[in-house]
Structure 1
Amino acid sequence: MTLPRPHRFDVYVAVGGLLGGLLLVGIGLGTRTREDPVTLFDGPWPILVPLTVMSGCELLRRAAPRTALLIATPAICADVLTQGSLATVLMFTDIVYAAVVYGPLASARRIQWITGLLTVAGTLVPYVAWREPEALLIGVVIGIVAYGPAATGWIVRNHRDAAEAARLRAEQTALLAEKDRAQAVSSERARMARELHDLVANHLSAIAIHSTAALSLDDPATSRDALTVIRENSVAGLAEMRRLIGILRDAADDTAPAAAPTLDSLDALAAGARANGLDVRLDADPGVVPAPVGLAAYRIVQESLTNALKHAAPGRVRVCVVRRDGSLAVTVTSPFGDREGPRAPGSGAGLVGMRERVALLGGTFEAGPTRDPDSADGKIWAVRALLPLTEGDSA
């Protein structure tokens, strides 16, 4: 098995511990004297064996902490049989600490229990055997050398894991915030696209149709009427654009943007459609409705009249806006027949915008050709939307 490459800091620790131990051996400073009963191998040279092994274990303190501890434990036991080296003891405490901090969680818990039990046994067994108060010092030494580093490593590991968990939560929160921001931007862009389409399409369609009539007919009276309608739609379109620009800029000056259209403006909307050449019959009794519902209903009627102006066959266009079972029902029907082509170009975004408005309010929407016995050829184009009314959120 190939051992992983040691960390640079671990190399520094191993070299420093080895040099420090050699210095202590050179000056003849050990942890025990030759007369100590546990000293089986006296002299400076036996100290070098556990010292060298322990410094080698320091190279593995981060790369292979369990292996380092398994090798270091017999080395520290061998050091007890010599005159001992303070450098060897200090490196062992560091290896115990590293095994808890960098090793697997199960091993870290196990090391805590084992060192704790050794500390208790090292305190009680010698005292019971010798009945001397000094025997308690053995347990104190074991606690300092083994259990103390293990407990310190456990505390550091817990703080490190808590910091890592906090960092991951912060990253997750940042990702969710970025996702919410992107969704908000996308939703706002879609809303702006719907508003721009609904504001401009109606007026520009009328301008395109009447400008075509003015160019194709060599009649001064007809041209004048067409130019009058073109001017009215241009002025109205500019006013609507200024209102939307004012909302987007969120102007803080005294010139506040005009209020959003409401269902009270349906009569004016129908009158404008009649001026553009549509035969519009309006049946509206919505009462008081929430502002979002009113705006959505107005925009649906506006876009439906624009589509009728561009695509409908000659005949009556019926608009019905009434309450029905806690919802606002919007129905717009127009004659549907064979035509050479639309009277004004379109992008096809109108139906998409109406469907999105209804979906945002949790309603239902359908649009398409259907049969109507009251029409001349039995075919009409019907737009139907059902918008739920929210209690307590009136306009």
Structure 2
Amino acid sequence: MRSVPKLVESMSASTTSTPTIAARPRPGPPTASRSRGMSMPSSLASGARPVVGRTTDPGPSADPARGDGAAVVHRSADPGDAALCWDGCVRVEDGDAGGARPVAPGSPGRWRAAARSLPQVWRIEDRRNDLFSAVTTFVLGWVLLEVGLVGLVRAPFVVEPAEPWWRVALLGVGCLLILVKRAHPILALLGGVAVMVVDLRWGGSLAVTLVLWDLLYAAALWSGPRARAWLWGVAVTVAVGGSVAAGEAARDVREFVYMGLQLGAVLLVPMWWATNVRTKSELAELAGERADLAAREAEAAARTADLERQRASDLERIAELDRHEAVRAERAAMARDLHDVIASHLSTIAIHSGAALALPPDAAKDRAALEQVRTSAVASLDEMRSMILLLRSEGRRDDGAGAALDAVAAPGRLAGLDALLAAARATTTVVLEDPDGVATGPLPAAADQALFRIAQEAVTNAVKHAPGSPVTVRLSRDGATVALEVRDDGAPGAAPPVDGPLSAGTGLLTMRERADGLGGTFAAGPTAAGGWVVRASVPVAARPSERESA
């Protein structure tokens, strides 16, 4: 490609009309589309200033405006913050202050402006290349005509032109067609064929043959696929048909070969050359697209790897949270069991020992208190042993040790509620109301254990916080729900006042957690008479008789 000249003609300041020019396709991959035309906006047409272009960057010290009012612009690969004039030159937009807005080197706006200007610069360069090609062909053809390379065809239809300069005029028409070969390659080729027919009528010349050769090359390079297919078909048909006709006319195989070589050189060689150039351009474009695709795939793979790493990190954090949650849940369950089992027995021991110490010495009562203390201590040890065995066991075993472990670690059930209440009756009056036979009836293991632990904690709290106050434990069943109520009236009874043991304050929390864990309800609070009531209900399966009646 030829370089852009040093100076570009300035645009007249008195321009009033809006010209329209045809945009030529830029050189490069032949598959690039060609713009139909471009119009100058009216804002540029009115009051336009002269523009002078340069091929080198004068540097940051150059004045943005010249003394003659022309804005200095750059026509290098780094055009700066520029826009395109209607004739394709690069023009700096002048602000109100009369200077060009500076753009930082390497900024996105600077490169976008350069990218926008390149197609127009390429089109201008294409037009200049075509003009140079047309002028060169005309000069070379004129020399060939002056040398006398005419009359290449000997046939009856050949006539001599009236004037010798007619051949020069015909050559000029062909060179004018070269100027439009990029925008309209097929139309230019048809015009070239017409010029060639006239030239053959005058005996033919090498100058017009060069014009046809150039137009054939342009048509094969820049036309569409369908036009190229037709072009190849016509060219091969003409070459073969002309060779056969020449051979038949001369009745000589050598004439057939000579004519075939000539027509092949004139018609097929430029098309083959253009096809080769086009193929290389398409392969280069395809290689670029593949490189872009590979880059995008690599970028996508990198993003996928990042996402996978992030996903693995998220899964690791989720697993860590699950482990923490499992540990927290296990600790909460252990805390409930320790509170309901061990703390209950220890509270009983503290209550009985405190009552014995508060009363006057009495051998019989002291012995009964010691027996109750021992019973609670042994029960506490058994419960502690069962919990230790459960925590140390690695799984269920089918041997005798496993059966013994199950027997020792068996949780409390409502069937043992009488034994629990019997221990409490040593210090206060405890009444059990079970009209529906809930304590002796079948219940789900989880509900049975939860109700027993809630009753155990509620009775222990009543004995601890209201010593001597009568306690009522009531069990009832309504369909698929079992309700438990533990009530005391808060009034001190026959037991002497003692200092209550310290409490961790988690009894209500553990009872609520057990009820909520089964989807039940829990409520606790003072009564109007000054006592305390605990109510809990848990869902259970309905009895078979109730299911049949339903």
The letter for the 2-side match of 1:239 is D
Q: Deviations over 1:285-329 (max 9, x none)?
A: 223222211111000100011111111253431111221242110
User: Partner of 1:331 in structure 2?
Assistant: 485
Selected match of 1:349 from 489, 498, 506: 506
1:235 has 2:385 as partner? no
The letter for the 2-side match of 1:212 is G
Selected match of 1:295 from 440, 449, 463: 449
The range that moved more, 221-230 or 348-357, is: 221-230
1:307 has 2:465 as partner? no
Q: Give runs of aligned pairs for residues 376-395 of structure 1, distance below 5 A.
A: 378-389=529-540
Give 1:242 shift. Answer: 0.9
User: Partner of 1:365 in structure 2?
Assistant: 522
CA distance in 2, matches of 1:66, 1:172: 40
Q: TM-score, normalised by structure 1?
A: 0.62
Give 1:124 shift. Answer: 6.2
Quote the RMSD (CA, aligned, Å). Answer: 3.6
Give 1:176 shift. Answer: 2.4
The range that moved more, 149-158 or 209-218, is: 209-218
The letter for the 1-side match of 2:534 is V
Percent sequence identity is 35
Selected match of 1:280 from 430, 447, 450: 430
CA distance in 1, matches of 2:467, 2:534: 15
User: Partner of 1:318 in structure 2?
Assistant: 472
Selected match of 2:271 from 85, 106, 131: 131
Secondary structure at the counterpart of residue 131 of structure 1: helix
Aligned residues: 286
Q: Give runs of aligned pairs for residues 82-121 of structure 1, distance below 5 A.
A: none
User: Partner of 1:27 in structure 2?
Assistant: none
Q: TM-score, normalised by structure 2?
A: 0.46
The letter for the 2-side match of 1:195 is D
Selected match of 1:213 from 348, 355, 368: 355
CA distance in 2, matches of 1:334, 1:124: 104
CA contact (8 A) 2:372 2:423 kept: no
CA contact (8 A) 2:354 2:498 kept: no
CA contact (8 A) 1:311 1:342 kept: no
The letter for the 1-side match of 2:369 is A
CA contact (8 A) 2:519 2:538 kept: yes
CA contact (8 A) 1:363 1:388 kept: yes
Q: Deviations over 1:42-86 (max 9, x none)?
A: xxxxxxxxxxx9xxxxxxxxx999988998997xx99xx9xxxxx
Selected match of 2:389 from 243, 246, 251: 246
Selected match of 2:306 from 158, 161, 164: 164
- Bigger-Rg structure (1/2): 2
CA contact (8 A) 2:475 2:484 kept: yes
Change (3 A) 1:263 1:230: same
Unaligned runs of 5+ in 2: 5-76, 78-105, 126-219, 229-269, 544-550
Give 1:193 shift. Answer: 0.8
Give 1:213 shift. Answer: 3.2
CA distance in 2, matches of 1:228, 1:241: 20
The letter for the 2-side match of 1:365 is F
Higher-RCO chain (CA-CA 8 Å, sequence separation at least 6): 1
User: Partner of 1:185 in structure 2?
Assistant: 327
User: Partner of 1:195 in structure 2?
Assistant: 337
The letter for the 2-side match of 1:363 is G
The letter for the 2-side match of 1:307 is N
CA distance in 1, matches of 2:492, 2:356: 24
The range that moved more, 304-313 or 138-147, is: 138-147
Change (3 A) 1:264 1:329: same
User: Partner of 1:57 in structure 2?
Assistant: none
Secondary structure at the counterpart of residue 477 of structure 2: strand
CA distance in 1, matches of 2:467, 2:383: 28
Change (3 A) 1:170 1:199: same
Give 1:173 shift. Answer: 2.2
CA distance in 1, matches of 2:113, 2:291: 16
CA distance in 2, matches of 1:123, 1:360: 81
The letter for the 2-side match of 1:244 is M
Change (3 A) 1:136 1:281: same
Give 1:223 shift. Answer: 2.1
The letter for the 2-side match of 1:226 is A
Selected match of 1:261 from 412, 423, 443: 412
Change (3 A) 1:326 1:126: closer
CA distance in 2, matches of 1:278, 1:64: 90
Normalized per residue, the structure richer in helix is 1
CA contact (8 A) 1:123 1:139 kept: no
